[in-house]
Chain A
Amino acid sequence: MPSSQNSIKLISGNSHPKLAEQVSKKLGIELAKVGAFQYTNKETAVAVGESVRDEDVYILQTGCGETSINDFLMELLITINTCKIASARRITAVIPNFPYARQDKKDKSRAPITAKLIANLLQTAGCNHVITMDLHASQIQGFFRVPVDNLYAEPSVLRYIKENYSLNDLIIVSPDAGGAKRVASIADKFDVNFALIHKERQKANEVSRMVLVGDVADKVCLLIDDMADTCGTLCKAADVLLDNGAKKVVAIITHGIFSSNAIEKLNNSKLDKIVCTNSMPLEDKLARCPRLETIDISATLAEAIRRLHNGESVSYLFNNAPE
């Protein structure tokens, strides 16, 4: 049996069809004819319209949607399970933004570790491999018994910075202590300084007081984080930086969730620009917020899929962003 004769089947979930289309274009293949829809009783059902027997199946579904995140998750699980029953050789879930990634620890008594639950759900459904990007905590990789490729948006971000900003008056800022490592690594690559904002949290999604560590006077500040949800932190951080004499503040984030009234907050904030990757669908938000820009990461995903399919090393992508 020749093992190399199977081909890539890329299936697009309903969460982010545009990204799937871009990835399929980069790969030079057609999207597989698979459709997920809802019955009138709101149960999700999946119809697989072509054979996936002995094929290498990739299902792209990102975690997004304030009202439909669980719907998309069930859709992903059912699609995985359908492909498994239909004798696919290997099923890889491509989840640019891993849902429930922030519920990754038992921070209170009897708190659920939902990220672990999601990992188990994916495996129970029949997933053989996971591709994701900028996991909130890399430890989530350890929740899986199957291989997880955690890609980085960093190379794409680095290129964006290089193309758009002069390095002379640049400083990289982390909006919280947890992101210091990510920021230090970027600052290292450009050989520029970095600063850190320490925030005192009293409740989730609420920030009370911020302390800046580092000198940002007369500099262009790049606030870098892995995700922006309600954007309270980002907006406050921008205020703190400008109060300390920064020239302008630009936020660069991987996953732009922008839930509830985040867009209004951004529009009213002093941020010069907000840049995020297209790991989540942002069409309506781009229209509502003129300062929002995106970095395309479909090439990274496409290259990861190609390399995984051909059995090549993926580590190249940790430091390089394909065009």
Chain B
Amino acid sequence: MRKCKVFVGSSHPELGKLVCDRLGVEPAPCTLKKFSNGETSVQIGVSIRDEDVYIIQSGSPQINDHIMELLILISACRGGSASKITAVIPQFPYSKQSKMKKHRGAITARMLANLLVMAGADHVVSMDLHASQMQGFFTKPVDNLFGAPTLARWIRHNISDWENAVVVSKNPGGTKRVTALADSLKINFAMIHTDRRRTQDQYSKKKALKQSVNEDDEDDNIVSEIQTARIVQGHVVDDDYPAKEQAVKQDASHLERQAILDSDVLGGSYDAGNSDDEDEPTSLSQEKLITLVGDVKNKVAIILDDMIDKPSSFIAAAEHLRLNCGAKAVYVVGTHGVFSDLCLESLTESSCIDKIVVTNTYPIGKERIEKYADKLTVIDVSPIFAECIRRDHFGESISVLFDSLAAIE
């Protein structure tokens, strides 16, 4: 490709290499390092005057360093008279902070969008933005690619009984994403809702409702199944589990931070459980009710989300599907495998999860992939990004990439 340079940031060099290989270009030479005082240093080793520049930088565990590196790279390319600068950000960092929670929250994703545009980005390419409304944060064009076609192909090729599988959303906020995948695979979907347990009575009521539903509507398609169970400390428990809340031993630092988050001065709990998609329990000791709407009995359940970040809700959902609802197998599928902390360890340890499938938008260390290879599958999405860059460079439409993989096969 003439008049085109692809720079690969240090967050995810493997993905950048794959994209470059696919495009048949070498990554443009640049030196990315840090000064001894910790400041990020960028040197661009090739002329970019009047060229079409693509910079590939994803989220990573050193997130702020890599954001600064990206901003400095963009700014250096702008200063070096590049004609057009496209930031390719497979996993957009801070995308969960895309709305104001409670009062006085930061909309960091919008600020980051402003920072990118200010640094000099003319175009942004990302994949499965946590909320597609985020495209509106930018004053420049944004192409939000989809991981669903890639995931759908994997499901078709690797799950033997996929025609009878059920795609499950682990929270109401993700239902749209789940129905889209279910539609494209032409299979059923189900939804899980987790709410804070208020009284024992309410649970009994729901239990009674469930039984009545089961008795009355054997073959009714409308309310096919409602399954409710209790979660204590992030795990599904039996009905006769003591209701008394258990004191959980937590280390001091955790308690302290929890205190900041929960204290009244901060206007109650910072990340209240009622937000639609950030459903991580603020305190694991709290007892909750988990409800499945839909039927997964003797079927393969595919829990789909855009990001696999924290494990607890996935594990709770998987346990509920497997132990209470009779699912044959449980697959956890997501576009961005962020796996913060010990997430991957906890997920692979859970006996209720049969496989974890993610794409390579977010860097997962090679050792980790090999270590958990029996359960973890990482799908390569570099062809989509490569094709997007190629089409963008030649001014062709990229909408064919949204629905199918036909363009890259």
B36 in contact with A259 (CB, 8 Å):
yes
- Give A12-44 interface residues, CB cut-off 8 Å to B: 33, 35, 37, 39-44
A110 in contact with B64 (CB, 8 Å):
no
Q: With A40-B341, A50-B265, A229-B36 as given contacts, are A81 and B260 in contact (CB-CB < 8 Å)?
A: no
The residue on A at minimum CB distance from B260 is A35
Complex CA gap A110/B263 in Å reads: 49
B286 within 8 A of A: no
Q: With A42-B340, A73-B64, A112-B72 as given contacts, are A85 and B106 in contact (CB-CB < 8 Å)?
A: yes
B284 within 8 A of A: no
Please choose the segment from A116-124, A213-221, A312-320 that sits at the chain B interface, where 4 or more of its residues have CB less than 8 A away. A116-124
B65 within 8 A of A: yes
B38 within 8 A of A: yes
Partner of A47, one of B59, B62, B75, B260: B260
B39 in contact with A112 (CB, 8 Å):
no
The residue on A at minimum CB distance from B307 is A41
Complex CA gap A205/B266 in Å reads: 45
| List of A residues within 8 angstroms of B267 by Cβ | 49
| List of B residues within 8 angstroms of A181 by Cβ | none
- Give A207-262 interface residues, CB cut-off 8 Å to B: 229-230, 257, 259-260
| List of B residues within 8 angstroms of A103 by Cβ | 39, 41
| Most-contacted residue by chain A among B59, B61, B63, B270 (CB, 10 A) | B63
A236 to chain B: closest CB distance in Å? 17
Q: With A43-B96, A111-B43 as given contacts, are A81 and B108 in contact (CB-CB < 8 Å)?
A: yes
B37 in contact with A259 (CB, 8 Å):
yes
A110 in contact with B80 (CB, 8 Å):
yes
A48 in contact with B104 (CB, 8 Å):
yes
A121 in contact with B71 (CB, 8 Å):
yes
A203 within 8 A of B: no
B28 to chain A: closest CB distance in Å? 11
B75 in contact with A71 (CB, 8 Å):
no
The residue on A at minimum CB distance from B80 is A110
| List of B residues within 8 angstroms of A321 by Cβ | none
The residue on A at minimum CB distance from B94 is A43
B75 in contact with A114 (CB, 8 Å):
yes
| List of B residues within 8 angstroms of A41 by Cβ | 59, 61, 63, 309, 338, 340-341
| List of A residues within 8 angstroms of B94 by Cβ | 43
Partner of B36, one of A40, A108, A120, A230: A230
B181 within 8 A of A: no
Could you jot down 16 A-B contacts, CB within 8 Å? A40-B310, A41-B61, A43-B96, A45-B97, A47-B266, A69-B38, A69-B39, A78-B106, A82-B104, A109-B47, A116-B75, A117-B75, A121-B71, A124-B111, A124-B114, A260-B36
B residues in contact (CB < 8 Å) with A: 35-44, 47-48, 59, 61-65, 67-68, 71-73, 75-77, 79-80, 93-94, 96-97, 100, 103-108, 111, 114-115, 118-119, 257, 260-261, 263, 265-267, 270, 309-310, 338, 340-341, 343
Sample of 18 further A-B pairs with CB below 8 A, known A42-B61, A69-B39, A114-B75: A40-B343, A41-B341, A42-B64, A44-B108, A48-B266, A49-B267, A50-B265, A70-B38, A70-B64, A78-B106, A85-B105, A85-B106, A110-B47, A112-B75, A114-B42, A114-B72, A124-B111, A204-B35
The 10 closest A-B pairs by CB, nearest first: A112-B76, A41-B340, A82-B106, A110-B80, A40-B340, A48-B104, A69-B38, A259-B37, A259-B36, A66-B38
